[in-house]
Structure 1
Amino acid sequence: MKRVQLQRWSSTVLSPRAQTASRLHQHVFPAGSRCQSTASPLQAESSAQEGLGDSGFEDVELMKHVRSAHRRKDMLKYPSPPVDAALNSAKLAALHARLYLPSRLPPQTLARALVDASADSNPDFNNESLATLGHDLLTYYTTEHLLCTYPRLPLTVIFAAMYAYAGPKTLAAMAREWGVEHASLPGGEVDPGLLQFRRVAPGSDLNVLYNKRTPRPYAAQKAWRMTVTSKIFYDDEFGDAIKGPENSGEGVTAELASATFVRAVMGAIYLHAGRPAAKRFFEQHFLSRHLNISQLFNFSQPARDLARLCARENFEPPVARIISETGRKSRHPVFVVGIFSGQDKLGEGAGASLIEARERAALAALKGWYLYSPLNVRVPSSMEEEGAAPWKPVYVDLGEVIV
């Protein structure tokens, strides 16, 4: 008799608990929803306790266990983490604080910037749109900085400087310096603070993979474009052939995924914090990197180029003169040669022979001309600042000598 009463007592206690747990599951986890319900876990727990009455601590623990199990099950259905998972990610919070991002940039947007389009094809949850905006901003800010600071740079040097400041290799190195880690495989259960992308298969031909938008094969297009001027019309901002979309459905490299993330962060800052915050972020993380532009020059015949430059600018023809020498008849002679245009010395160079010293002097004269930088440089984007001074046109040079 006692055994029958005990079974009846246990059935009366467990039945309301099971009904409440089922009712709670339907309220917190609606079917087919990617984002969780608007009701917070604390509200769900309080409602469960009200429904259970005085059933005790074990009922609340059962509710937590059911919610956790279904949360893990729902996460496995999606290619990227749910939106509300960004609020509980320690890695994401640390990255937000490490980069000193504006408080108006929510962690959900930062988590979206870490999801590459190859991992999640849904444009509402990947960083493709943010990266497009960030790419345009980086290109604009870098171009105006180079053109206003060094108005006489040759086009090939501008392309090299653009690549050094905002190229994929530089952006990938910045992502590593920021401490961004890569996820092994993308998925809904991955920590939102990890960079998620689908890796390209080993042995894939990257030229075929990333050049699907070009109308000609890559090799044929390179042979067709022979002039530097054509790069302005047919190539990208780095002077390279226009590549196809980085998300081809077949995966991307870690370098491209990291570069896309940095661009997405730039676009997210612009959207949430405005132009001043985006410009400040660009100055702190991009312009603060030292770049020796004088090492980007590569003149094959500097003496000829200098003579053409002087003829275009109506200067007197350059003349090489020996300034000093030592050890002419020794094993290690040193000659110091200067390039003069009339009474003005354009450049000076030293070498073990007269020809070498003259070439170095001509090279120094060309670099002195092309690396000219005006005082008090202002860029067009500075007019967007509040209380900016009236705009004064910047110096625009005729350009390089076309040989």
Structure 2
Amino acid sequence: MNHVQRRLVSTAARLTSVSPASVANFPPKESYKPAKDAFVKDEFNPENWAALQPAPSTALHAFAYRIGLQSVLMDSDLIRQACTHESYLTLFRQHYPTKPEPETNAQLASVGNSLMGLFASEYIHTKYPYLPTRVMKAAVTAHVGPPTCESVAREMGAAPLLRWHRTPTSEDGRNILHADAMASIPRSLTALIYQERSMDVARKFVHSYFLSRKVDLRAMLKFTNPKKALMELVQKYNRESPKSRLLKETGRFSNSPVFVVGIYSGADKLGEGFGASLKMAEFRAAEDALHRVFLTRTPEDMIQLPSSTFSTWLKIFDQQGDSTDYTPPKLAPSEIIYASSGRGGIPETRR
């Protein structure tokens, strides 16, 4: 066994997606070369050969059962299409220019990405009605963004089934990364569920795998001047101007003092904070008051999603179709963006 064949054996052992049926044709004829061509530049690449091998049907069906979609994805070709990134065609055309090209998940990933964004946006907006717009966008990205999709795909065990190729350049001028190809699998699965079943089933899939995860929204709310933002927020609700009151203190004349400050609007306490100085405690108290407003949650039993008004997509235009009672919530007042830091931490200027 020469060096190329030994590399092929080690590569095939690492890649579990190689079908056992390929063992009968092992080693492939591409690995054999006449003695006169022993030093040709176009050497056989075992990694590419292993990547070109189709995933076995047993692994595809096991994947469908593992994620609980055995009744939806009964056709192994659909699962194989969902796990085939569009960059795989570049590698396929190089080795099999005359064969018909396999179907990829390019369109499925685009549709699934839109559906996941819809489900995440309506759920977060309904659950946190006072959340600022920029923070809501960041929360949607945290729930269904590319890093989360890639992580969920790995947890599903889809890495051995992925077919992709790291092309030198793409349309936008950047390389195709493995994480980008992995992120396309959950999006494609969402589109397939929507295609084979209904929007309701696709929404349940997204809620189970993505929206059930805990995301720290408090860390996304940062203010360079929370006192000014709180003052404008109180004025918007026609309440009394906020005032700071010292609630507790200890060690004022020591090297480690602690002050507890509360911010009140009339007799109502809006927030409370502590710090080693009165200024720091007042800053944290104003920030705590803003967090209490922006992170106000709607009880789970009162959450109504617009996409749940119709049970099936086929009856969405049928007035006689099954539908659920839906009461649209009242729109929350526009958020206060004064001195609210953006993605880069640059204060937002007031217009």
If the length of structure 2 is used for normalisation, what is the TM-score? Answer: 0.72
- Offset from partner CA, 1:31-84 (integer Å, 9 cap, x none): xxxxxxxxxxxxxxxxxxxxxxxxxxxxxxxxxx9xx77xx89xx99x966xxx
- Offset from partner CA, 1:268-326 (integer Å, 9 cap, x none): 11111222321221111011111121121111111111111112221111100001111
Identity of paired residues, percent?
A: 33
Aligned to 2:84: 115
Aligned to 1:281: 205
How is 1:139-218 mapped onto 2 (pairs within 5 angstroms)? 139-182=117-160, 194-201=161-168, 211=172
SS in structure 2 of the partner of residue 338 of structure 1: strand
Aligned to 1:253: 177
Which AA in structure 2 matches 1:402? I
SS in structure 2 of the partner of residue 325 of structure 1: strand
Which AA in structure 2 matches 1:91? A
Aligned to 1:397: 332
Aligned to 2:66: 98
Gaps of 5+ in 2: 1-20, 30-47, 91-99, 313-321, 339-351
- How much has 1:163 moved relative to structure 2? 1.2
d(CA) in 2 for partners of 1:298, 1:196? 41
Aligned to 1:271: 195
Pair 1:352–1:268, CA change in 2 (3 A): same
Which AA in structure 2 matches 1:309? L
- Offset from partner CA, 1:231-286 (integer Å, 9 cap, x none): xxxxxxxxxxxxxxxxxxx7510111011111111111111122232122111101
How is 1:4-403 mapped onto 2 (pairs within 5 angstroms)? 88-105=56-73, 106-120=75-89, 125-182=103-160, 194-201=161-168, 211=172, 251-375=175-299, 376-385=302-311, 388-403=323-338
Pair 1:80–1:127, CA change in 2 (3 A): farther
Gaps of 5+ in 1: 1-64, 183-193, 213-249
Which AA in structure 2 matches 1:308? E
Pair 1:398–1:338, CA change in 2 (3 A): same
The answer to whether the Cα contact below 8 Å between 1:349 and 1:357 also exists between their aligned partners in 2 is: yes
- How much has 1:401 moved relative to structure 2? 1.3
d(CA) in 2 for partners of 1:136, 1:330? 58
Aligned-residue Cα RMSD (Å) equals: 2.6
Pair 1:167–1:123, CA change in 2 (3 A): farther
d(CA) in 2 for partners of 1:80, 1:159? 38
Aligned to 1:236: none
If the length of structure 1 is used for normalisation, what is the TM-score? Answer: 0.63
d(CA) in 2 for partners of 1:296, 1:345? 24
Which AA in structure 1 matches 2:327? K
d(CA) in 2 for partners of 1:388, 1:317? 46
The answer to whether the Cα contact below 8 Å between 1:80 and 1:120 also exists between their aligned partners in 2 is: no
The answer to whether the Cα contact below 8 Å between 2:247 and 2:261 also exists between their aligned partners in 1 is: yes
- Offset from partner CA, 1:4-29 (integer Å, 9 cap, x none): xxxxxxxxxxxxxxxxxxxxxxxxxx
The answer to whether the Cα contact below 8 Å between 2:247 and 2:262 also exists between their aligned partners in 1 is: yes
SS in structure 1 of the partner of residue 213 of structure 2: coil
Pair 1:353–1:123, CA change in 2 (3 A): farther
SS in structure 1 of the partner of residue 204 of structure 2: helix
d(CA) in 2 for partners of 1:346, 1:98? 48
Which AA in structure 2 matches 1:256? D
The number of aligned residues is 274
Return structure 1 stretches of 4+ with deviation > 6 angstroms.
121-124
Which AA in structure 2 matches 1:272? E
- How much has 1:385 moved relative to structure 2? 2.5
SS in structure 1 of the partner of residue 104 of structure 2: coil
| Structure of higher CA gyration radius | 1
